[in-house]
Each structure stands twice: as structure tokens, then as C-alpha cells.
Amino acid sequence: MKIAVVGTGYVGLVTGTCFAETGNDVICVDIDKAKVEKMRNGVIPIYEPGLEVLFERNIKQGRLQFTTSLEEGIKDAKIIFLALPTPPGEDGSADLKYILGVAKDLGPLLKKYTVIVDKSTVPVGTADLVKAEISANCSVDFDVVSNPEFLREGAAVNDFLKPDRVVIGRETEVAEKVMGELYAPFVRQGHPIIFMDIKSAELTKYAANAFLATKITFMNEIANLAEKVGADVENVRKGIGTDSRIGMRFLFAGIGYGGSCFPKDVMALSKISEDNDYDFKILNAVTEVNHSQKTKLFPTILNHFGGNLKGKKIAMWGLAFKPNTDDIREAPALYMIDKLVEAGAIITAYDPEGMPNIKITIGDKIAYAKNMYDVLEGADALLIVTEWSVFRTPDFNKIVSKMPSKVIFDGRNLYDADKMTEKGFDYTCIGRGNG
């Protein structure tokens, strides 16, 4: 099948590459000229484990191409995916300017029946708006379909190739057939393609992300309470996660969720609720709790240094909003950096993949180290922000040789608190009765 993917970011590039991998001819369109040039030269613009191999193979075999021209990209396409940004507007609602802008441009370019697919996370009713924009200046028949994406950055390729489910909101049988054929290779192991009405598909994506954000936040609140009552959130996690009704995933306490999806999607769902006269109380609380959770360790650090952080050297492990990605959007690290630098601390950070992006955002507000041990040189304390695997079993002797103070603030509960105390570390983590 000939497919166009408009917007070649984390979602668009994975989508386009994985559809090419199953034998489709894919053209990815992006307005970012430098990005398109890079991809045309075979350079992958994001870090996503496992993507590079597929990217290179499909370019080499001529199934994956890139262009900045919407007209050229969609010329022969049977299906056009919109994988465009939907950032939060000032009032928290999803800003649809990218989606509707492209929809408007598409109208006159469509020359035959085409399925237009909303892959972006969009408010309920967006498909109708897309349809109206295209129809305003279009002479052929087309369908608009909602196909929300559930991939996780860091595991995106596997999530896309082996999805738990594919959700498709459609109005016509033709659109259902086209989408069913496209996704058939991805659900051979029996995972379902769930066809539904478009509004339910649009709401499903927000419901999924809001539920997961709520689960994380609930556990963070349990952690905060555990600190007050002298309990250990890790024990509680095991105690409840083994209940099959609850499950182990998304129960790790820490310094809050970040990323380009959870924060904005929770806010957008709150706004959708508000616009529809529904006060979604839990969601508002989730945003509020998560916001304060991101800087939860700041008062503890300040207190440790007697209320004065001026000139204190803080080493930071982790910048990306989670491991296995270079994405730093809404990363808790950014919030901690702001607080610490404002209080006069001097930060040197290391992240396996997140440093180039953070440099673009905050430049020399902090210093950067080449590896996880160099960052500790002369530091007064280590602050762990992202749970990269490489931080899980460090050489503790090396840590001590570089940072004799042995002070660690761990925002991701990577180590056994008792063992750290045995090793002589002044170790603070989340929710283990040590707040």
C-alpha cells in the first residue's frame, strides 16, 4: 500500500518505518528541512532503540522516503497519517493548529478517494474539524479515521510492531477494510483491532494516558504518606502489585512523570471535561500532585545543606524524562535544575542520550560530563533523576573515590536503602520512611 505520514517526529518516524517494514511504500513528510535532509542522508534524527536497523533497511530497499513537500508526499497515497504535534495551548487544551493547517492544505491536493488518519492525540470531535477543513476545498470522496497511537518512547518499535491492541474509529466500511488490511500483519498473534465510532477512539487515547498518569500519581501519594508513617513504599508496591486486579506496572514511586504526553494529555482531558460541564476532579488533582512531586527532593536537598545551596556542587544522573529516550520534554530534571540553579547550586549532569536536547533547551545553565563518573568529580552530592539501566549497578567504590561526601538523593529508588546505609552512604530516596 502507498502511505504518507505527515509529521516525522517520535510517532511519525516509528509509524512510517514500521509500515515500510511490513512491505508498504511510505513517504514521510516534515516541514523541518534540516530533519528531512538528515533522514535523506540516512541519519536518524531521534534516539529510539531498535529503530535504526529498520530505518536503514527500508531506506536501502526503497520503501521509506522523505520529503518536505506535502504535495509530493501524498501524491499516490491511499492512506495519509497525520502524526503532527498537539501541544498544550495556554488554557491546557490541545492546540490543533498543526493538524487543521495540514487538513486545510490537503483539500485541494486530494485527487482520488483517500483515508486520512488522525494518529496524533486529539480532543473528541477533531475528526469532524479535520473533515470540515478538507471538505471546504476538495472535490473527491475521502474518509477521516481516528487511530490513536499507544507506543511508548524507549520501546516504540516493539510497541508498534506488536501492539496490545489497535484502536480504530471509523465511519464507513471502506475505511474499516483499508485500515484492517494495513494493520493485519501487526496483529497476527491474536491481539485485537478494535473498531469503534470515531469519538470513542479519540477519547480512548486520553483515557489510557490519564489512567496511567493517575496510577503513577496514586503511588507517589502513597510514597509521600509512607514517609510520614515510617513505611516503605517498595514493600507496599510489591504487596499491592501482586494483586492481579492492580498489576505491577506503573507502580514505581518517584519524582513524577514527564514527557510529551502524560502532562499535556491529562491537562487536555481536564479541559475537554470543563468544556463539557464536567468537573473531572481526579484529573485536576493528578496534575497538581505531579507538579509538586517533580521538585519533591528540593527541600530535602536544601535542608541537607543547612538551607544554603550557594556554590554547592550537585552531580546529576539523568536528564531525559525516562530511560531509553533522548526526549526531555517536561522532564522532571528541568524542574529540579531550575530550583537548584536558582538557589545557587552548580550542576554537572550526565545522561546517556538526553544531553544534546537539553543543551538546546538550557545551554550552559549547567555543565555536562562525558560519563557517569566524571560528573561526580568534586561533587557535594549526587542527584538521580532518570532510571537508566547503567545507573542501577554502578561501581560504588568509584563513586566514593570521586565523591567522598557519599551523599545521594535518589529520585527513582534505584538502590536498596539498607545496603546503601551499610556502605556508609547518606542515601535519601522516595517513600521509604526517610523523608
Burial 388-398 (b: 16+ CB within 10 A, else e): beebeebebee
- Pairing relationship of beta strands 25-29 and 2-6 according to DSSP bridges: parallel
The backbone torsions φ and ψ at residue 318, rounded to the nearest 5 degrees and listed phi first, read 105, 135
- CA distance between the termini of the chain: 57
Residues 431, 222: contact at Cβ < 8 Å?
yes
Give the full edge-to-edge strand order of the sheet including 426-428: 367-368, 346-350, 313-317, 381-384, 407-410, 426-428
Residue nearest to ligand NAD (CB): 9
Smallest gap, in angstroms, from Cβ of residue 204 to ligand NAD?
A: 12
Closer residue to ligand NAD, CB minimum distance, 270 or 348:
270
In contact, 169 and 207? CB cutoff 8 Å: no
Measured distance CA(116)–CA(82) in Å, rounded: 7
Closer residue to ligand NAD, CB minimum distance, 14 or 337: 14
Q: Which is nearer to ligand NAD, 150 or 305 (CB)?
A: 150
* 3-class DSSP assignment, residue 211: helix
Write out the residues near ligand NAD by the rule CB under 6 A.
Answer: 6-12, 29-32, 35, 83-86, 98, 101-102, 120-121, 149, 151, 153, 260-261
Distance of closest approach, residue 49 Cβ to ligand NAD, in angstroms: 13
Q: At what angle do helices 51-60 and 10-21 cross, to 10 degrees?
A: 60
**To 10 degrees, what angle do helices 332-342 and 355-362 make?**
50
Please say if 261 is a catalytic residue.
yes
Q: Which residues pair with 407 in a beta bridge?
A: 426
Residues with Cβ < 8 Å from 401, sequence gap 6 or more? none
91: left (phi over 0), alpha (psi -120 to 50) or beta: alpha
Q: Within its chain, how far is the Cα of 424 from the centroid?
A: 36
In this structure, are residues 432 and 232 in contact, taking their beta carbons and an 8 Å threshold?
Answer: yes
Rounded Cα–Cα distance for residues 133 and 372 (Å):
50
CA angle 395-296-299, nearest 5°?
A: 90
Q: Smallest distance, Å, CB 46 to ligand NAD?
A: 7
Q: Check 18, 28, 138, 261 and give the catalytic one.
A: 261
- DSSP codes, 21-69: HTT-EEEEE-S-HHHHHHHHTT--SS--TTHHHHHHHHHHTT-EEEES-
Residue 181 has, within 13 A of its CA and on its CB side, a CA count of 13
Question: What residues are annotated to the active site?
Answer: 261
